[in-house]
Structures are given as C-alpha cells and as structure tokens.
Amino acid sequence: MIVGDLKPLDEIVSSVAGYRRILVLGCGSCVTVSLSGGDREAAALVRELNCMVKTDGAPVSFEVGTVLRQCEKDLVSSFCEVPPDTDAILSLACGAGVQTVGDAFEPLPVIPALNTTFIGASDEAGVWREMCHGCGDCLLGVTGSICPVARCAKSLFNGPCGGSQGGRCEIYIERPCAWAMIYFRLKKQNKLHLLHEVRMPRDWRTATAAGPRERRRTGIGGSAGETNKSAQ
C-alpha cells in the first residue's frame, strides 16, 4: 500500500494562495486506509483551511470531492466532477494520483496536499512499515522474503554490514537488522547456503536509474505485453 502524510498546513496554505475556488479532492484507496487522504480527511482539511486561508477581501471557497482511485485515468475522467469556475484542485492522493488528475484536467493546477512517503505493509492496526522500493528486479526469492533494498538502511546486497549488533541495525538501533532477519529466516528454511552466493552490483536501470518506468498489461489492445520498459 502507498503511504502518504499530510503536508504541514502552512505549506498547504501557501500553495493555494491566490486561488479563489478550490476543489479539495480525496482519494478513496491507499490514503483512505492510512487516514491521510480520504473524503473524511478532505473535509477536515477544508475546515482547517477555512480558518487559516487569509484573503485580500475576495472570498475563497472550497468544495470537497473524492475519487475511488486518483491514479486511474478512466476513473478520474468518468467520476471526478470539477465544479464550474474551479481554479485549482488540491489533491490528497499520492504523487501518481496528483499527476493523473493533472493530466486529466490540464491546464487546471493540481496541487499536492500529501507527501507520498513509501510503499508499506501493515503488521498491526494503524502502523505501516516500508517494505518495498519498487526496484523492478525482485530478489525476495533468495532473501527469505525480506527485502534488503527497502529494509536494510544501506540497501546492501551482501550483508550484514560490520555494524550489525545483536540483530539490531547500526543506523537505527531500535530497528532489526534486515540482514540478521534474512539470516534467521533462511536458517529456518534450511537455505543458509544462499548467503554464500556473492551478489554482484546490480543493474539499477530496472529501478529509477533509467528514468520513469512503464508497464503494459499483457493482452490489452492486442499487445503481447511488456514489462519494465523505460517510458522515455
């Protein structure tokens, strides 16, 4: 799940300065679950903005709306209603959602109200942990299903580093060392031999090193399907 946090209110107030009719647009998926960007949060943000936005006499009005997924162009085009005379959209979606809405309603300014933080998984109610960086070349099959890219503070491919102590990470002592976790997981699986295989420096073009990525689903529009192609 994509996790996002509301930007500081002062920053949001600055970013909407000068606009008079603003649609505050929640997203009904990931950020609704993390209670940062759904319709309830959009309504709460409007209440705050009504108190904080200073005008030079001309009133500022806010409308609230929600789209199930702002990251899906079809849903945005079909179900997002922008009231007439809206001069900006304040989006409570992740960066992908903000950009999709921006494309759909170009040239209307679409302003992010959230900082998109990470792809996380929930292991207890209301707590998400970063689990994946979307690197495009998953190696969980040889690391006991524990990601060293996202969960090791140094993203090491051959670990642990020399600072791992008592199963704790030297960078964040309160957190477990990802490579210690990998060791104990592989041990339980009788796969410790995997740790003896030295992994060469990887080709990060599958991640963000080759620019924005694109994936085409197999079979759509007669396509044979392609994955992990650079979009540019």
Determine the interface stretch with ligand SF4 among 11-19, 52-60, 109-117, 153-161 (rule: CB under 6 A). Answer: 153-161
* Helices assigned H by DSSP within 53-197: 73-79, 95-104, 148-151, 178-188
DSSP state of 97: H
Total binding residues for ligand SF4 by CB under 6 A? 25
Q: Work out whether 3 is an interface residue with ligand SF4 (CB under 6 A).
A: no
Burial pattern 82-115, b for ≥16 Cβ within 10 A else e, equals beeebebbbbbbbeebbbbbbebbeeebbbbbbe
Q: Work out whether 152 is an interface residue with ligand SF4 (CB under 6 A).
A: yes
- 3-state DSSP call for residue 218? coil
The β-bridge partners of 214 are 229
Q: Work out whether 170 is an interface residue with ligand SF4 (CB under 6 A).
A: yes
Query: Binding ligand SF4 by CB under 6 A: which of 171, 173, 192, 209?
Result: 171
Determine the interface stretch with ligand SF4 among 77-85, 121-129, 173-181, 209-217 (rule: CB under 6 A). Answer: 173-181
Tell me how far, at minimum, the Cβ of 157 lies from ligand SF4, in Å: 10
Q: Work out whether 167 is an interface residue with ligand SF4 (CB under 6 A).
A: no
Q: How far is Cα 24 from Cα 62, in angstroms, rounded to an integer? A: 7
DSSP state of 176: B
Q: Work out whether 2 is an interface residue with ligand SF4 (CB under 6 A).
A: no
Q: Which residues bind ligand SF4 (CB under 6 A)?
A: 132-135, 138-140, 147, 149-150, 152-154, 156, 159-161, 163-164, 169-171, 177-179
